[in-house]
């Protein structure tokens, strides 16, 4: 399978694994890369030297391309970027910030830069900043999300209409059929997060993985828009947030309830009551925990079968 995305990253399939906090360590990234996709280490939940360790272990575990996802609100961003360059990483996905800040500097170091956006406006800003590709993420996605609540089905063709650089679709994609659908709409590849959370190689807690595969339609909700919109599985913490909203809380009150390390507590430590359990709406269609190699094999098989069905129709 060859197209703009496989050629850009020198990979077999146009499948990118989301660089999700507390889920995307070196084991997951290397497994995805070894299976023909592009694995990403999620720097957002790592101190600088922890990131360095994950990069080094990933280089030993795969001879295929892999990258690092960097939320640009990271407090040690300069140190993170320096480590990425020092360790010879050649692909960086940036998010949660202005793409102009780091794109040119990274590209001067020979690094391919991709920026995650949630709207046409931000896709155009990323293209103007000179990024090599964009990820357009619909609000079905897990974790932190766009405020406009534009769905992937609507977002992809609108972004495609306005940009010339390669386009990666994200949000609500966990199957070969969804992959084909977004590519018919104009995407050159897909980024999947939730499907890879429920993998053997994901670094998240087993209890969180089980909660993901037990989730059904309607079990997630986008909330905390006043801080940074985030899609969560409904649990005790989520219910506490909703109760606080009934009092018309200030931003400071929301921050106080959120506290620190909620995502780590939920996804990494397995506190299913008091932690943030970030996952996409598509979790309602994920029913098992599999090795990454099997996940990608199944997605590609379904993609190819669906292509035949579309052509025959």
Q: Is the pLDDT of residue 238 over 90?
A: yes
CA distance 176 to 165: 23
The band of 91, judged by pLDDT with boundaries at 50, 70 and 90, is very high
CB 15 within 8 A of CB 9: no
Tokens 């575990």 correspond to 61
Percent of the chain past pLDDT 70, that is, above it, reads 100
CA distance 210 to 283: 11
The band of 144, judged by pLDDT with boundaries at 50, 70 and 90, is confident
Q: Report pTM.
A: 0.95
CA distance 281 to 278: 10
CB 216 within 8 A of CB 43: no
Helix (H) / strand (E) element for 165: namely none
Which ranges of the chain does DSSP label H, i.e. alpha helix?
Answer: 4-9, 26-34, 48-61, 77-86, 103-108, 120-129, 152-162, 176-184, 194-197, 206-214, 236-245, 251-258, 262-263, 292-312
Instruction: Enumerate residues 6+ apart whose C-beta is below 8 A from 245.
Output: none
Helices (H) and strands (E) in the chain, counts: 14, 11
Predicted pLDDT at 241: 96
**Strand partners for 25:** none
- Mean pLDDT score across all residues of the chain: 95
Kindly report, residue by residue over 185-202, the tens digit of the pLDDT: 999 999 999 999 999 999
Rounded mean pLDDT, 20-38: 97
Q: Is the pLDDT of residue 296 over 80?
A: yes
In 3-state terms the chain splits into helix, strand, coil percentages (rounded to 5) of: 45, 15, 35
Under DSSP, is residue 87 helix (H, G, I), strand (E, B) or coil?
coil
The band of 2, judged by pLDDT with boundaries at 50, 70 and 90, is confident
The band of 114, judged by pLDDT with boundaries at 50, 70 and 90, is very high
Would you call 212 exposed, middle or buried from its count of C-beta atoms within 10 A (0-12, 13-18, 19+)?
A: buried
φ, ψ for residue 15, nearest 5 deg:
-120, 120
Predicted pLDDT at 313: 67
Which DSSP state fits 52?
A: H
Predicted pLDDT at 274: 96
CA distance 312 to 269: 48
Longest dimension (CA), the chain: 57
- The arrangement of strands across the sheet holding 112-117 comes to 15-17, 189-192, 167-170, 133-137, 112-117, 91-95, 66-71, 39-42
Would you call 66 exposed, middle or buried from its count of C-beta atoms within 10 A (0-12, 13-18, 19+)?
A: buried
Rounded mean pLDDT, 131-142: 96
The band of 148, judged by pLDDT with boundaries at 50, 70 and 90, is confident
Rounded mean pLDDT, 113-131: 97
């Amino acid at each position: 399978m060859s197209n703009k995305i496989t050629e850009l990253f020198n990979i077999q399939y146009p499948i990118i694994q989301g660089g999700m906090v507390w889920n995307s360590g070196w084991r997951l990234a290397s497994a995805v890369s070894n299976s023909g996709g592009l694995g990403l280490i999620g720097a957002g939940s790592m101190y600088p030297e922890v990131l360095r360790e994950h990069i080094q272990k990933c280089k030993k575990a795969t001879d295929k391309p892999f990258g690092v996802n960097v939320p640009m609100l990271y407090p040690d961003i300069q140190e993170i970027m320096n480590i990425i360059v020092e360790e010879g990483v050649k692909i960086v996905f940036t998010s949660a910030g202005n793409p102009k800040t780091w794109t040119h500097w990274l590209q001067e170091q020979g690094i391919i830069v991709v920026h995650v956006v949630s709207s046409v406006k931000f896709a155009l800003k990323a293209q103007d900043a000179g990024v090599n590709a964009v990820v357009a993420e619909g609000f079905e996605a897990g974790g932190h999300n766009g405020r406009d609540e534009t769905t992937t089905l609507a977002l992809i063709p609108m972004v495609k209409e306005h940009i010339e650089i390669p386009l990666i679709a994200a949000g609500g994609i966990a199957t070969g059929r969804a992959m084909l659908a977004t590519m018919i709409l104009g995407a050159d590849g897909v980024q999947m997060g939730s499907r890879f959370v429920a993998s053997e190689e994901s670094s998240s807690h087993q209890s969180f993985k089980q909660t993901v595969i037990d989730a059904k339609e309607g079990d997630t909700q986008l909330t905390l828009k006043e801080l940074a919109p985030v899609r969560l599985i409904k649990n005790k913490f989520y219910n506490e947030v909703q109760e606080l909203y009934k009092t018309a809380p200030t931003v400071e009150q929301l921050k106080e309830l959120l506290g620190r390390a909620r995502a780590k507590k939920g996804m990494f430590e397995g506190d299913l009551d008091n932690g943030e359990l970030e996952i996409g709406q598509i979790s309602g269609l994920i029913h098992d925990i599999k090795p990454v190699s099997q996940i990608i094999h199944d997605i590609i098989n379904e993609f190819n079968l669906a292509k035949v069905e579309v052509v025959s129709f």
